């Protein structure tokens, strides 16, 4: 297909100093007329005109076909229009514009636009990433009819999940958003100015039809017909633009001929972004990028905000959580995002609109490849002057020779750093973003004594370290939590949350609607704790480039992935405050390497304290540490002498060593390290080394057999350990599988449970069918847990008990076939399906099921059985018990409860149901 573009002022012959950057953003025209307001509109198949407001989409204003199917995989476009749509407006060219050249600026359309002025065609434009600009030439003053056609049919196979137009994100809306303007200049004008450390590159237009003599910055120049690109010496103002001091400057340029004049004011900033020895250098100082992806989820409007204030608010939210970076997954934000980021010292990674999933890899479709190259060039020419524009990537997770685009981009503009998929050589980019091999969802279990290099085969580690390319962890996290359905009322736009409503209705059918908020809080706090581990693992890796959290907020598509501590509207879920998040995510973070989380009071607690420091300069600081109990009583404390903490480094602070003999009762302790004006904390658990696990008042059983039933018939108290390896439903591996793969038949003998898992669901059950549970929910005050300190949600003392406590399974789900040394444990627990219990029946320790399935699941539960009382534990607390203090402690707590007066179950479950659940 033919690609229509305005003159590109960035030429192949333009040589720049690698990594040394000066920028401008914004343009000032002599006269601008906004076309925002009421337009006439019709769909392609309809002749009757209707009124519509622009900027906006036709769908949000009710034009299109109403959805007949409620989408279960994503939000539903309640009104959908795909095809050509026609937008018409009567415009008035003022008398002052007589003899001026006029251009039409449409900031963003999907996908192709074409225009006519008084019936005369002016061609078409087709960009998903940048403005559509039309040169109308000299237009006579007076009224004229402007007709714009916008066609949002899919033009090329760029991947149906590419977030520039995917239904899983903004959706392929039809309309015009952002600025709609007529702009007037003299026939000789300044098109564009690019500012470099020692020169300006100026593109000048000439529509007079003859050569023009002109002056600019006291320099005489000759401008041929059609225009020219010139270079002029320049000394920029100081100081540099920086993350911590985002200094923007302003340059005024005036072009004069004998007859014409044009002035442009160019804001700009200067910075240097380079790489060395596995790190990024900002103005020569090492920095580490940390931030969320932005996958174009905007449920109220469908489309992204186009005003600076909205982006200032968004980036300020991100900065409040310690972030300094945002990746735009397979799409490009509007100019307002760059302007806001410039102001705040925030960094952006922009991507061409390409994700090859479900389509051909790059190189297989010449017309598409031409379009993508044009998109790359147009992104660079429109936004490359912004100092916040740090990284340019060739789409998301797409194979093929995309290094062709990397080389193309670097040949015309070296002001940002580049990468493509598998960017592990300098020809493929300036940094690596490898995903499963480097930096992707790396929780390795109940310890903090690891870094990301430990997840890679030794050979691969050496390969990447020798390359000296920085690595950015790709899509870190993706741990799902349960949604709070109160948010459904927030979806007031065209995108309707029918999928959320389905999940809520399912929870109601399973008689657990009253637990919605408890599920959301418990699973959410658990997921946040895993993000803490991921982020700290990144900081403990040195050298390292940074990490991209897959999303800080929920993702409403691809099966609905509730993977954020913010909802889809960037609003807090109340799981963690920004101040608490910054303790483990920010320029300076205290860290701790310790071999385990679970101790006995015979152990010596020993750990290495470190600090990751990426602030503007070195600091001199002592370090304080303490271990305290939940009431704030100090168990041990100490201080390390003041030392210089070097910026751009992982600094060792000292080794903590403390006796735990004073802990005579089971306890959760909090270890805190404080240095350089910040602090961070970690939970550990300490249990008495000796446990009394025998109780004559309790029969301990391992089968629901005749002997167990006879004991219950005699009125005995029975603690039954139901084998985690028996009675399991099989989990069918499936990608975007049908609903039946996520469901199980009613409980029968031998099929009564699902495998236990400490780690929660990865991304979503619809995308990747898996165990799918979301951590535990319990009442910490329940007497069965009196001797086993716990919060209402999963924490690391549950990891060994539940098993599957590493990201090993999620690596496999994500396609990683490498063999990692995970040392994980399986068949440690199971979750018994309790759907047939009374509506108000609640297990003592409940496993929160995925919102797709909403089964009532029990890890530990109780019931009366005739004269007897039965306590069921579906956790293996005996295997290797001598080396598992948490297992010994939980068993002691359950025995103590089962032998006491407080063991008095409120319900009696039918013996027939117990037979089906507990016999194999």
Quote the pLDDT of residue 435: 55
How far apart CA 854 and CA 443 sit, in angstroms, is 26
DSSP 218-258: TEEEEE-TT-EEEEEE----SS-B-SSSB--EEEEEEEEES
- Share above pLDDT 90 across residues of the chain, in percent, rounded to a whole number: 82
Phi and psi angles of residue 423, each rounded to the nearest 5 degrees, phi first:
-75, 65
The residue among 798, 747, 748 whose CA lies nearest residue 773 is 798
Residue 367 DSSP label: H
What is the rounded end-to-end Cα distance, in angstroms, of the chain? 64
CA 631 to chain centre: 36
Q: What is the pLDDT of residues 289-328, one digit of tens each?
A: 999 999 999 999 999 999 999 999 999 999 999 999 999 9
How far apart CA 270 and CA 245 sit, in angstroms, is 11
Q: What is the pLDDT of residues 108-158, one digit of tens each?
A: 999 999 999 999 999 999 999 999 999 999 999 999 999 999 999 999 999
- Share above pLDDT 70 across residues of the chain, in percent, rounded to a whole number: 94
Q: What is the pLDDT of residues 499-530, one digit of tens each?
A: 999 999 999 999 999 999 999 999 999 999 99
Quote the pLDDT of residue 196: 85
DSSP 838-901: -TT---SEEEPPPTTT---EEEEEEEEETTEEEEEE-B--STTGGG-HHHHHHHHHHHHHHTST
Measured CA to CA in angstroms, residue 864 lies from 304, 836, 914 at distances of: 57, 16, 11
Peptide bond into 196 cis (omega under 30): no
Residue 652's Cβ-side half-sphere holds a number of Cα atoms within 13 Å equal to 6
Q: Please compute the mean of the pLDDT values over residues 888-911 and round it to a whole number.
A: 97
pLDDT interval class at 12 (50, 70, 90): very low
Alpha helices in 511-612 (DSSP H): 516-540, 578-582
Q: Please compute the mean of the pLDDT values over residues 344-365 and round it to a whole number.
A: 95
DSSP-based three-state secondary structure for 161: coil
* Average predicted confidence (pLDDT) for the chain: 92
How far apart CA 494 and CA 77 sit, in angstroms, is 6
Measured CA to CA in angstroms, residue 530 lies from 61, 526, 541, 563, 850 at distances of: 42, 7, 17, 11, 17
How far apart CA 33 and CA 765 sit, in angstroms, is 50
CA 764 to chain centre: 14
The pLDDT of residue 708 is above 90: yes
Backbone angle region of 114, left / alpha / beta, with phi > 0 → left and psi within -120 to 50 → alpha: beta
Q: What is the pLDDT of residues 88-104, one digit of tens each?
A: 999 999 999 999 999 99
Indicate the helix (H) or strand (E) that contains 708. Answer: helix 706-713
Residue 328 DSSP label: E
Please state which of the ranges 88-97, 261-270, 645-654 shows the lowest mean pLDDT: 261-270
Q: Please compute the mean of the pLDDT values over residues 468-491 and round it to a whole number.
A: 93
Secondary structure of the chain: what % helix, strand, coil (to 5)?
20, 35, 45
pLDDT interval class at 449 (50, 70, 90): confident
Q: What is the pLDDT of residues 775-793, one digit of tens each?
A: 999 999 999 999 999 999 9
Quote the pLDDT of residue 690: 84
State the pTM of this model: 0.94
Quote the pLDDT of residue 330: 95
Please state which of the ranges 437-446, 478-487, 723-732, 753-762 shows the lowest mean pLDDT: 437-446
Please state which of the ranges 20-29, 539-548, 814-823 shows the lowest mean pLDDT: 20-29
What are the strands, taking DSSP E only, across 532-665? 546-549, 588-593, 598-600, 604-613, 619-629, 634-645, 649-659
CA 803 to chain centre: 27
Quote the pLDDT of residue 452: 74
DSSP-based three-state secondary structure for 701: strand
Within a 10 A sphere around the Cβ of 508, how many other Cβ atoms?
14
More confident residue, 473 or 577: 577
The pLDDT of residue 350 is above 60: yes
Peptide bond into 55 cis (omega under 30): yes
More confident residue, 694 or 250: 250
pLDDT interval class at 426 (50, 70, 90): low
The pLDDT of residue 830 is above 70: yes
Please state which of the ranges 533-542, 633-642, 667-676, 838-847 shows the lowest mean pLDDT: 533-542
The residue among 809, 788, 798 whose CA lies nearest residue 859 is 798
């Amino acid at each position: 297909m033919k690609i229509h573009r305005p003159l590109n002022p960035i030429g192949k012959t333009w040589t720049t100093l690698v990594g040394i950057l000066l920028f401008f953003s914004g343009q000032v025209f002599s006269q601008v007329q906004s076309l925002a307001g009421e337009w006439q509109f019709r769909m392609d198949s309809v002749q009757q005109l209707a009124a519509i407001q622009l900027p906006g989409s036709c769908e949000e204003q009710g034009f299109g076909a109403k959805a007949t199917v409620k989408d279960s995989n994503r939000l539903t476009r309640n009104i959908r229009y795909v095809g050509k749509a026609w937008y018409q407006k009567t415009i008035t060219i003022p008398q002052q514009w007589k003899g001026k050249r006029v251009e039409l600026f449409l900031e963003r359309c999907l996908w192709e636009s074409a225009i006519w002025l008084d019936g005369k065609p002016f061609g078409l434009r087709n960009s998903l990433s940048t403005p559509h600009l039309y040169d109308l030439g000299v237009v006579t003053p007076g009224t004229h009819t402007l007709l714009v056609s916008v066609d949002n049919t899919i033009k090329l196979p760029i991947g149906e999940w590419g977030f520039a137009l995917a239904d899983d994100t903004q959706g392929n809306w039809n309309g015009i958003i952002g600025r709609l303007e007529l702009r007037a200049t003299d026939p000789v004008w300044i098109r564009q100015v690019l500012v470099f450390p020692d020169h300006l590159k100026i593109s000048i237009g000439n529509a007079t039809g003859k050569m023009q003599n002109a002056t600019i910055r006291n320099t005489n120049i000759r401008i041929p017909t059609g225009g020219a690109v010139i270079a002029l010496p320049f000394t920029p103002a100081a100081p540099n633009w920086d993350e911590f001091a985002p200094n923007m400057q302003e340059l005024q340029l005036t072009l004069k001929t004998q007859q014409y004049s044009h002035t442009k004011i160019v804001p700009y900033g200067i910075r240097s972004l380079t790489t060395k020895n596995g790190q990024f250098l900002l103005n020569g100082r090492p920095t580490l990028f940390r931030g969320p992806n932005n996958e174009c989820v905007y449920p109220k409007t469908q489309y992204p905000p186009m005003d600076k204030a909205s982006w200032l608010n968004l980036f300020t939210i991100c900065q409040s959580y310690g972030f300094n970076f945002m990746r735009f997954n397979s799409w490009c934000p509007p100019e307002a995002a760059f302007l806001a980021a410039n102001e705040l010292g925030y960094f952006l990674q922009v991507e061409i609109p390409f994700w090859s999933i479900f389509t051909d890899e790059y190189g297989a479709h010449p017309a598409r490849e031409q379009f993508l190259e044009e998109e790359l060039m147009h992104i660079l020419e429109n936004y490359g002057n912004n100092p916040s524009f740090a990284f340019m990537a060739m789409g998301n997770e797409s194979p093929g020779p995309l290094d062709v685009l990397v080389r193309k981009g670097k040949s015309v503009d070296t002001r940002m750093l580049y990468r493509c998929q598998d960017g592990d050589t300098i020809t493929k980019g300036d940094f690596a973003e490898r995903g499963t091999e480097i930096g992707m969802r790396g929780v390795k279990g109940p310890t903090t004594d690891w870094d990301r290099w430990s997840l890679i085969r030794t050979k691969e580690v050496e390969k990447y370290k020798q390359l000296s390319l920085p690595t950015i962890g790709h899509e870190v996290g993706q741990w799902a939590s349960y949604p709070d359905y109160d948010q459904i009322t927030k979806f007031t736009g065209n995108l309707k949350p029918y999928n959320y409503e389905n999940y809520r209705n399912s929870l109601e059918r399973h008689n657990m609607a009253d637990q919605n908020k408890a599920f959301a809080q418990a699973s959410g706090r658990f997921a946040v704790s895993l993000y803490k581990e991921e982020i700290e693992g990144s900081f403990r890796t040195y050298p390292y480039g940074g990490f991209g959290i897959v999303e800080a907020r929920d993702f409403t598509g691809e099966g609905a992935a509730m993977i954020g501590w913010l909802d889809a509207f960037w609003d807090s879920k109340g799981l963690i405050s920004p101040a608490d998040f910054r303790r483990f995510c920010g320029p300076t973070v205290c860290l701790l390497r310790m071999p385990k989380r679970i101790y006995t009071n015979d152990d010596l607690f020993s750990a290495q304290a470190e600090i990751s420091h990426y602030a503007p300069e070195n600091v001199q600081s002592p370090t304080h540490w303490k271990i305290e109990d939940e009431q704030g009583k100090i168990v041990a404390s100490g201080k390390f002498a003041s030392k210089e903490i070097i910026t751009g480094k992982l600094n060792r602070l000292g080794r903590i060593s403390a006796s735990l003999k004073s802990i005579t009762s089971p306890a959760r302790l909090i270890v805190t390290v404080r240095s350089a004006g910040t602090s961070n904390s970690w939970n550990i658990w300490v249990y008495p080394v000796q446990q009394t696990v025998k109780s004559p008042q309790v029969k301990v059983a391992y089968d629901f057999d005749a002997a167990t039933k006879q004991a219950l018939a005699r009125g005995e108290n029975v603690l039954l350990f139901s084998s985690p390896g028996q009675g399991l439903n099989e989990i069918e591996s499936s990608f975007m599988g049908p609903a039946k793969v996520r469901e199980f038949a009613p409980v029968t003998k031998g099929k009564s449970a699902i495998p236990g898992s400490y780690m929660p669901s990865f991304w979503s059950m619809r995308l990747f069918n898996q165990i799918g549970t979301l951590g535990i929910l319990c009442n910490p005050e329940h007497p069965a847990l009196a001797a086993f300190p716990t919060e209402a949600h999963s924490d690391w003392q549950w990891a060994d008990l539940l098993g599957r406590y590493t990201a090993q399974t999620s690596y496999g789900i994500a396609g990683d076939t490498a063999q990692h040394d995970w040392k994980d444990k399986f068949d440690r627990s199971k979750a018994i399906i309790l759907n047939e219990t009374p509506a108000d029946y609640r297990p003592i320790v409940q496993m929160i099921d995925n919102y797709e399935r909403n089964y009532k699941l029990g890890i530990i539960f109780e019931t009366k059985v005739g004269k007897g009382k039965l306590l069921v534990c579906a956790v293996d607390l005996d295997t290797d018990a001598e080396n598992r203090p948490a297992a010994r402690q939980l068993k002691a707590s359950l025995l103590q409860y089962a032998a006491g007066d407080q063991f008095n179950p409120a319900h009696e479950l039918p013996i027939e149901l117990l037979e089906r659940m507990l016999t194999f």
